[in-house]
A and B are shown apart, each in its own frame.
Chain A
Amino acid sequence: MDAMDIRQTENELREVSERVLKLAKKYGASAADVSLNKGTGLSVEIHNGSVDKLEYNRDQGLSLSVYMQGKSGGIAGLKTGSATSSDLSPQAIEDTVRAACNIAKFTGEDQYAGLADAELMATEVVDLDLYHPWDLQAERAIEIATECEQLALDFDERIINSDGAGINTYSGISVIANTHGFTGVIPSSRHSISCSVIAQDPNANNKEGMQRDYWYSNSRLSEKLESAQAVGKKAAERALKRINSQQLGTRQANVLYSPEMARSLIGHFNSAISGSSQYRQSTFLLDCVDQQVFPEFIRLHEQPHIPQAFGSCCFDKEGVATKNRDIVADGIVQNYIMSSYSARQLGLQTTANSGGTHNLTLDSTGQNFAELLAMLDTGLLVTELIGSGINGMTGDYSRGAAGFWVENGEIQYPVEEITIAGNLKEMFKQIVAVGNDVDYRSGTRTGSILIEGMTIAGS
């Protein structure tokens, strides 16, 4: 989508949003909100030097919620209905609005339902510099991905196969509007280059001991992507390091989560303090505001306005203005992660998190990766986690893992087919350090996290 198209698409989506909201009122809604998106993309995947897939993406969608008064005339709350469509033709828009309004006729009056308060709507929208489309032709994409894969395959004779190298580019626009009169426009782009290869010890028999690993780079700007060579090299190095992985014996140990894996721990904390798990009382951190959940040195905060970042936005899905805020300060929980709905359930005010968090950042305690390995001394470095063995109600945690066994601060050998287990409530308290080796590739930013006293299950 080039600059001309984007302006045209913006106008088109603005018009659709106005039509949708008008129709919603016509069919009986007292309030409504709509989100629209349209975008285009190209994705190429190479396997062993030849094109595996060349995909042209063209997405569009409409998602609508309507709120309607019931028998009580709104006193007992509003009735909600939702509908989505991938067709933006006038007939489909009309059908979608009618479907949402029809549903609202049958739902119950809910005193917490409705839009966020009008005075919370974002009024100042600064340019967060999220839109940098990449005019990438298929031929060039194939060249880059091929170069990336080739470097990984040639890197070492123990790299025996490719699991694919790829380029992805997507740019588009989304429009959020509601019957408070709020309309927000977010043009954005996202590009990535990735490589995944398989390594094997030449002395291994048959297919035993194949190990795959990958690397990727992403950015809103194509020129800020790591080079094809750098991505290919890292993928190869990572796969090679995993050759001859062993199973550990069952034991208690300290665990260092790599930045990519550490992000998941913040995800578990987010779920536990989300407004919906608080009002449903389905969390191991119930009523935890003002409580010491982490050690004193932990600060977790939201930074919604970082230019070009993946989690940046001036307003949330309800149009509520986002702002910098501390979620955890000195290890103490400051507030939950709420939409207007869950906030009303809890008798609180929305934190502008309808649709998620915005550049959630865990501040480092200052150590680099080498210093963290030294602090770990003897224990497990986790570089891969699989499965979802987490009980959000009790905090019980048990996941499949792979990584490296470390002794005296030095990596000894790769490990696999083990689990790491504990309870998140205790794990959060047992965090010893957060590295400065921050991974910036998502809307959650953290370095490596060192945790004491987990259980490793193996042979």
Chain B
Amino acid sequence: MGIFLIKSHTMSQSILQQSRQHLLEPAGISETQLDQVFSHLQGADLADLYFQSTRFESWMLEEGIIKNGSYSIEQGVGVRMVVGEQTGFAYSDEITLDSLTASAKAAAAIGKSGQTGKVKAWQAREQTNLNSFYGVDNPLASMTEDEKIALLNLADKEARAASPYVQQVIANIAGVHEHILVADNEGNLSADIRPLVRMNITVIVEKDGKRETAGTGGGGRFGFDYFTQADRIRNYANEAVRQALVNLDAVAAPAGSQTVVLGSGWPGVLLHEAVGHGLEGDFNRKGTSAFSGRIGEKVAAKGVTVVDDGTLENRRGSLSIDDEGTPTNCTTLIEDGILKGYMQDKLNARLMGEQSTGNGRRESYSHLPMPRMTNTYMLAGELDPEEIIASVDNGLYAVNFGGGQVDITSGKFVFSASEAYLIENGKVTRPVKGATLIGNGPDVLTRVSMIGNDLALDKGVGMCGKAGQSVPVGVGQPTMKIDGLTVGGTEVQA
């Protein structure tokens, strides 16, 4: 865990102050008026107002030209009322007392039958003594336009310098600065200011009439100056070109059950799909997950420990507080092979008699929160990765992946390798074409037979989709060996 040392600074009064200035004061909304809004939400087991403002900016380079840039301004407020298992929700693109009141009345339609009639004055309890895992500075203002463009031009230059076979370079940068303020019916008033940047480089290479493509990138909760440090852009460019060139020589992937060694870092998308989604509280409360009712059971091999950790400094998936105002945690999902717990938001935690784990997230004010992952990873083991590869007579070594998907009810999940090699007699040999790997979430980790000492997190470009909502996430793992995973190649072995 050495590389993820957390140096948390205390969230100062100023984050709440700044968010209030940014979100409430322009509309002249006072705390007395919030009290009025909550008076429409009487009888709620849980009610909250989620104020959000987002500034997004992106730039794109192609054919050596800065082709386009985009800027977006989004702001609004979502009002939610929960009675029992039932949620009423409405939102507005305007932050005004009128629109807030209208939304509250609409959301309160859910509570018609559940009115308790208890009237309690709403009084703010400012949540300020919280840890913060990133700075508050606006990444969009962290560089001038010319400096941002220079990042893309550098990416283009580095990628073209990396190989004479490079035909096309497409580079993007994007930055987000987000202010949120959550007021709940218990009076808690919490705020967060969230920076997020990323860069992606895609290259197309051509050699002897064959073409291939690959992309890499990185990012996190910083300013754009992150990309000027540690030769990052050159490394992304070299890595994209390397992957594309490797794939030019790829042979057909094997089809059928194989011993698979997964590399460290991004291949942790396995954990996200195979166990992560299935351990989200909503599916388990409703009994629709293949993991429902299995706390305390063995779902992975001894030595396998998986956590979801929103507290890693500056990580893409990290949050100081979730979108319900709950501080994030490092939640143990699987400990030494035993299923320990679920990821919870307030609603599902309450209905299951648990505490929120700080995993209540939403894409924006116009979406309802639900349990979502932050940074999901497996802790390191003790083995040298070389030793793990050397132990395999015949198998697949997969080091880079595209996306994945899971059916949480049947537990079947897939993730698609974009860079993989054959392992023959303990040695990594030929590259193979991309192939989808498929397995069963509740038992795939029981077949983990070796775990490396090289835990790494991904570079920070992951996006997770659930029920039509996208949120930024991170994944990670050490090198590990799985005895038997179905590889979806085309090469049927005799």
**Partner-B contacts on A (CB < 8 A):** 47-48, 50-60, 80-89, 92, 95-96, 99-100, 102-110, 113, 138, 161, 163, 198, 206-207, 209-212, 245, 247, 250-252, 280-282, 384, 386-389, 391-394, 396, 398-400, 402, 416-423, 455-459
* B435 adjacent to A398 (CB under 8 Å): yes
Report yes or no: B433 in contact with A391, Cβ–Cβ below 8 A: yes
Residue from B91, B438, B439, B487 in contact with A58 in the complex, judged by beta carbons closer than 8 Å: B91
Tell me how far the C-beta of A66 lies from the nearest C-beta in chain B, rounded to whole angstroms: 11
- The answer to whether the Cβ of B377 comes within 8 Å of any Cβ in the partner chain is no
Residue B119 lies at the interface, judged by CB distance under 8 Å to chain A: no
What's the nearest-Cβ distance from chain A to residue B332, in Å? 21
Contact B110 A51, beta carbon cutoff 8 Å:
yes
* Contact sample, A vs B, 12 pairs, CB 8 Å cutoff: A53-B88, A58-B90, A60-B93, A84-B70, A103-B71, A107-B67, A163-B288, A386-B413, A386-B414, A400-B413, A419-B438, A455-B489
A276 to chain B, nearest CB (A): 10
Taking a contact as CB atoms under 8 Å apart, the answer to whether A161 and B416 are in contact is no
Q: How far is the CA of A183 from the CA of B404 in the complex (A)?
A: 41
Counting contact residues on chain B (CB < 8 A from A), the size range is 35 or more
Complex contact B72–A83 (CB within 8 A):
yes
Are A250 and B76 in contact, CB atoms less than 8 angstroms apart?
no
| A421 lies within 8 A of B435 (CB) | yes
Q: Which residue of A lies closest to B283 (CB)?
A: A163
A52 to B368, CA, bound (A): 12
Give complex CA distance A258, B459 in Å.
Answer: 38
A400 in contact with B436 (CB, 8 Å): yes
Of B28-36, B185-193, B290-298, B302-310, the one contacting chain A is B290-298
Give the shortest distance, in Å, between A402 (CB) and chain B (any CB).
7
List residues of chain B with CB within 8 A of the CB of A82. 68-71
The 8 closest A-B pairs by CB, nearest first: A419-B488, A387-B414, A400-B414, A389-B436, A250-B256, A389-B416, A103-B69, A108-B65
Q: Which of B69, B412, B413 counts the most A-chain CB atoms under 10 A from its CB?
A: B69
B134 CB–A CB distance under 8 Å: no
Q: Which of B69, B206, B255, B288 contacts A161 (CB 8 A)?
A: B288
Contacts of A245 in B (CB 8 A): 410
Whether a CB of chain A sits under 8 angstroms from the CB of B266 is: no
Q: Which residues of A contact B212 (CB under 8 A)?
A: 393-394
Task: Find out whether the CB atom of A207 lies under 8 angstroms from the CB atom of B492.
Answer: no
User: B288 and A388: CB pair below 8 A?
Assistant: no
B434 contacts A by Cβ under 8 Å? yes
Establish whether residues B433 and A396, one from each chain, have CB atoms under 8 Å apart when the complex forms.
Answer: yes
A386 to B411 alpha-carbon distance, docked (Å): 12
Partner of A52, one of B87, B107, B405, B433: B87
Contact A54 B109 (CB under 8 A): yes
Assess the B72–A421 pair: CB atoms within 8 A.
Answer: no
A198 touching B288 by the CB < 8 A rule?
yes
Inter-chain contact B68/A81, CB cutoff 8 Å: yes
Known A92-B73, A282-B168, A282-B211; further 11 A-B contacts with Cβ < 8 A: A55-B89, A83-B71, A85-B72, A107-B69, A212-B409, A245-B410, A281-B167, A386-B406, A402-B412, A421-B489, A457-B488
Expressed in whole angstroms, the minimum distance between the Cβ of A296 and any Cβ of chain B is: 26
Bound form: Cα–Cα A72–B66 in Å: 16
Of B70, B85, B146, B439, the residue contacting A103 (CB under 8 A) is B70
Cβ proximity bits B401-434 to A, threshold 8 Å, 1 near / 0 not: 0111111011011111000000000000000011
Within the complex, the shortest CB–CB distance from A387 to chain B, in Å, comes to 4
CB of A388 within 8 A of CB of B416, answer yes
A457 touching B489 by the CB < 8 A rule?
Answer: yes
| Cβ contact within 8 Å between B414 and A281 | no
Contact of B69 among A106, A282, A384, A421 (CB under 8 A): A106
Contact with A along B85-99 (1 / 0, CB 8 A): 111111111100000
